[in-house]
Amino acid sequence: MIKHLRIDNRLIHGQVAVVWQKYIDAKAIIVCNDKVAADPIQKMALPLAARGSKVLVLSIADMLAYEKEHPDESLFVIAKFPQDALDILRSGVKVESVNVGNAAPIQGTKYVMLTKSTAATKEDAEIYREIAGLNGGRLTTQILPSMEKLDVLSLLDKAGL
């Protein structure tokens, strides 16, 4: 079962490896993005950043198969982009919570900063709204568990997205 699905284009970093992993108490971190999963250097390097936690770097299809084969294992899934998270949710897999972490601006896109660490394009906004719809109408952004959860839909509206 996916205990927590985090959208974070930085993937595994200190906040994720130390704070979120401890807070969620999942048995494995799964980095989920098709291109990252096909990159042998990232597949080797990302587990090193997790400081001893079990880390899998999988395509979306492989993550869904892994979750199905291990239904009792609590998982912390990190999706690189909003579309990755949407694809996971569209599959119908059970996800306890969804959070937008760091969404750094992508050079060459027409983005708006929603918070100091969350950028979104018009296309991202459409995806975030669909994610919220598949998640009981909720989608929050939160850098650390100790910080306030902010409503992504409200931030999108405020930004004119």
Contacts of 62 (CB under 8 A, 6+ apart): 37
Q: Is 77 helix (H, G, I), strand (E, B) or coil?
A: strand
Q: How far apart are CA 36 and CA 13, in angstroms?
A: 15
Active site residue 70: no
Q: Catalytic one among 3, 13, 129, 138?
A: 13
User: What crossing angle do the helices spanning 82-90 and 60-69 adopt, rounded to 10°?
Assistant: 40
CA 47, 36, 60 angle in degrees (round to 5)? 100
Q: How far apart are CA 117 and CA 6, in angstroms?
A: 14
Q: Is 84 helix (H, G, I), strand (E, B) or coil?
A: helix
Whether the CB-CB separation of 158 and 125 falls below 8 Å is answered with no
- Residues with a known catalytic role: 13
